[in-house]
Amino acid sequence: MPLRPTERALLKGAITGYDIYEAYAADTEKEAFDFLNGITVTKQQYYVVVEVPGTVIAKDRAGVYRPSASWRGNDWVALQWAEVDSEGRRKFWQYWKGPAVAGANPAKTDQLLRVTIGVLLVAFVYVIYLGIHERVVVAGDQAPSFTLTADNGRAVSVPNFGGKLLVLNFWASWCGPCVEETPSLTQFARNYAQKGVVVLGISVDQNDKAYRAFLQKYSPGFLTARDLKIHEDYGTFMYPETYIIDSQGKVLLKIAEAADWTDPKLTQYVNSLL
């Protein structure tokens, strides 16, 4: 009998290269293990996560995992979801995958559960701290300043980017909607290149090889660069996310999802700013 999907099944986020596609809820660990042991995961970068009271159990191609406080090199992966509510506050969900447990026995979980709860409490306090101290940039705000060098050698700064408008797009190679958005954003960049619009796509990829492979495969027709810090200054942790910034460094529009950059409504709005 299939388990009930959770609201997190609707969130597609990733960290350290793992995409989250399925999330379920179960009442007991036995129910979760029975479910996970009865399915096969063959795809790369694919996770099935089951939440049970007080913990979470996950499965990927390598096997079934339970939370662990033993963080050792490649034996663990932190999974994090983040979204921004209507009032601009960030919400987080964070899980841990520990070493693979072959034929894991749910009966031997008491000590592990206590450790896990302690770790989660620390993480919860940290998340509250981040929510208080980290800024989320919205329309009307002054865009955080930065300077970087794009892959073609051009230096780009905010607010001195050398144009009337800057379309600042945060993306990642493992982000499906980012892939879907790239062709229309490329066409947009070409159409507006002579109208004072600068399009800069900043990748948050930790893996430079994956980043380069994306560029080679999809050939974005706009400025590209890889940076792991700037997106944090903007409070961007879900991708793609785009900011339209004027020559004074003011954020005119924030698009917190993939966009069709050939949509007449969007192009008419951009034209009204020029």
Task: Please indicate, yes or no, whether the overall pTM of this predicted structure exceeds 0.95.
Answer: no
Q: How far apart are CA 144 and CA 124, in angstroms?
A: 27
pLDDT for 120: 75
Q: Is 65 helix (H, G, I), strand (E, B) or coil?
A: strand
What count of Cα atoms within 13 Å lies in the side-chain half-sphere of residue 229? Answer: 5
Do 125 and 52 touch, CB atoms closer than 8 A? no
pLDDT for 104: 42
Short-list 147, 142, 150, 126, CA closest to 222: 150
Please give the structure tokens belonging to residue 220: 């974005």
Q: How far apart are CA 118 and CA 124, in angstroms?
A: 10
pLDDT for 36: 84
Low-confidence ranges of the chain (pLDDT < 50): 1, 7-18, 68-85, 88-110
Short-list 106, 112, 51, 60, CA closest to 81: 51
pLDDT for 40: 83
Domain 146-273 has CATH 3.40.30.10: yes
Q: Using alpha carbons only, what angle is made at residue 104 by residues 99 and 107, rounded to the nearest 5 degrees?
A: 125
pLDDT for 156: 95
- Look at strands 4-5 and 22-25 and give their pairing: antiparallel
Please give the structure tokens belonging to residue 146: 């930065």
pLDDT for 49: 76
* Residue spans in the chain of domains classed CATH 3.40.30.10: 146-273
Backbone torsion region of residue 5, taken as left when φ is above 0, otherwise alpha when ψ lies between -120 and 50, otherwise beta? beta
Q: How far apart are CA 188 and CA 185, in angstroms?
A: 5
pLDDT for 183: 96
pLDDT for 97: 38
List strand residue ranges (DSSP E) for the chain, in order. Answer: 4-5, 14-15, 18-19, 22-25, 48-52, 55-60, 63-65, 77-84, 90-97, 146-149, 155-158, 165-171, 197-203, 223-226, 241-246, 251-255
Short-list 184, 169, 170, CA closest to 263: 184
Q: Which residues pair with 203 in a beta bridge?
A: 171, 226
